[in-house]
Amino acid sequence: MILLDKFGYLLSEAPVLFFIAWFAVRWVHLRRRRNKQPDSLANDRRKLRRPAEFGPRDLQFYPRFALAVIAVTITALLEFAALATQGAAILTGTFLLSSAAIVQRLLF
């Protein structure tokens, strides 16, 4: 019985998470078309395929990694406190976006 309740919750939240991701991608495409730019830029490809600036062999990696872990943890706690009532899909979307921004800023 509990499994079916969790499955029903997943079925109700999965479309919302999909819609959030779809809307974000379409929003970027719309803005780029309005500015007469292609859907994907060379800058996008470079950002996605470049190696990390700091690796585990660099001395600066570990303090930056620890700072990223602390920042993501604090952000997660604050987002959970503020957005837990809005649903798992919205909470997941905001957490994924903020975590990716923090990690990209500190480690890449």
- Same domain, yes or no: 22 and 66: no
Residues 78, 93: one domain?
yes
Question: Exposure of 83 by Cβ count < 10 A (0-12 exposed, 13-18 middle, 19+ buried)?
Answer: middle
Q: Give the number of domains in the chain.
A: 2
Identify whether residues 45 and 79 lie together within a single domain: no
What integer pLDDT is reported at residue 1 of this predicted model? 61
Let me know whether 83 and 32 are in one domain: no
Q: pLDDT tens digits, residue range 10-32?
A: 788 888 888 888 888 898 889 88
The pLDDT assigned to 47 comes to 73
Q: How many CB atoms lie within 10 A of CB 68?
A: 17
69 and 43 co-located in one domain: no
The answer to whether 64 touches 106, Cβ cutoff 8 Å, is: yes
User: pLDDT > 90: what percent of the chain?
Assistant: 28
In this structure, the answer to whether residues 30 and 68 fall within a common structural domain is no
Tell me, yes or no, whether 42 and 60 share the same domain: no
pLDDT digits (tens, 9 = 90+) for 38-81: 877 777 777 777 777 778 888 888 999 999 999 999 999 999 99
Name the residue range of residue 16's domain.
Answer: 1-50
